[in-house]
Amino acid sequence: MCISANHFLQSLLVGIGIALVTHCPAAGEPQGSPAAEAVQAQPAEVDPAAAKRAEFVASLLKRLRDAFPLRPVAAREQVDPELLMPHFTAEFTRQFQPLLTTELRFIEKVCQPSPEELKTVKAAGEESLKLTVTEYVRLQIKLEQSGYRFREEPEWPNPRKRILDALAQSVRHALAAEKVKRYEQELQSRAAARKRSTVSYTIAKLDRDLHLSPDQRERLSAILLSTWQEEWAQNLEILQHGDRYMPPLPDDQVAPILSEAQKGFWIKRNKQFHRGWGWAGFGILHPPAEEQELESSEETDPAEKEGEKQP
């Protein structure tokens, strides 16, 4: 006799329901009570219809087990890390190289170092770039080997901060005091401008949704500045969340500033914040192709250029 899959499932559900009903105590009778135990202790009367149904369910379960046997989950094939390492090393180096290039240009413009000073600073930056890439490769290979299953969210170091810290330390040791002072002042000004732009964007976003008054905008700006976190600017720069990103501001400070109508929207809006995990760019913008070609042409030996011009 051929029975369809739907018939199998329906019959299975009916059989399970019958089994549950026959093993449940009477309505209002708690399990484990003396009355229930007394009923269970009495010899059960054999109901021919129930016995036939039980036999059918047992046969059905056996046929299901035969038709759909349990198969062991195949172990994930492990990829040799040595095969993955060159690929990820090249990829992350390409991703992070613009950070080093940008910071070196910033140092050249602000500090005007000598060729020897710039060489020393550049070596420190390249070493930091190499160490950062190595750490990213290690994390990426670990994720690949685990099938992207992890108990705790992996922490990816910020390559921008790593490289900047190494360059700043090298500048302090290799350059003159007045150049170091000028460099640190420019770094502070740049960080302040980055913070202001993030705060301005956030307030503009809230104003569009909540129709803030001038006083509310000023007070919310103060909250943003007093509770500032560097990752807020970073999350805006990577554009991962589009225009939906909103820093997770403290409700106990924001709610008293808002009206009742604004509070309802704010509570709903603030709960929509989702923190992403993993490598997301850290706001790295790659230079255009023509700029990269210009850089490679600048690095060409002048003697080679002269040789190319000769027939």
pLDDT at site 162: 93
Per the CB < 8 A criterion, the answer to whether 247 and 232 are in contact is: yes
- Residue 42: pLDDT above 80? no
Q: Using CA atoms, how far apart are residues 262 and 258, in angstroms rounded to an integer?
A: 6
Structure tokens at 160: 């921008």
Please give the average per-residue pLDDT across 112-127, as a whole number. 96
pLDDT at site 181: 96
Higher-confidence residue: 144 or 301? Answer: 144
User: How much of the chain, in percent, has pLDDT values that exceed 90?
Assistant: 33
- Work out the pLDDT band at 52, boundaries 50, 70, 90: confident
Burial classification of residue 287, based on how many CB atoms lie within 10 Å of its CB (0-12 exposed, 13-18 middle, 19 or more buried) = middle
pLDDT at site 286: 45
DSSP 118: H
Per the CB < 8 A criterion, the answer to whether 266 and 254 are in contact is: yes
pLDDT at site 59: 84
pTM for the structure as a whole = 0.59
Per the CB < 8 A criterion, the answer to whether 19 and 50 are in contact is: no
Q: Using CA atoms, how far apart are residues 117 and 179, in angstroms rounded to an integer?
A: 11
Q: Which residues of 76-94 are buried (b: 16+ CB within 10 A; e: fewer)?
A: eeeeeeeeeeeebbeebbe
All structural domains of the chain with their residue ranges: 79-175, 189-272
Q: Using CA atoms, how far apart are residues 81 and 140, in angstroms rounded to an integer?
A: 10
CA 296 to chain centre: 34
Structure confidence by residue, pLDDT tens digits, 216-265: 999 999 999 998 888 888 777 665 555 667 777 888 888 899 998 888 88
DSSP 300: S
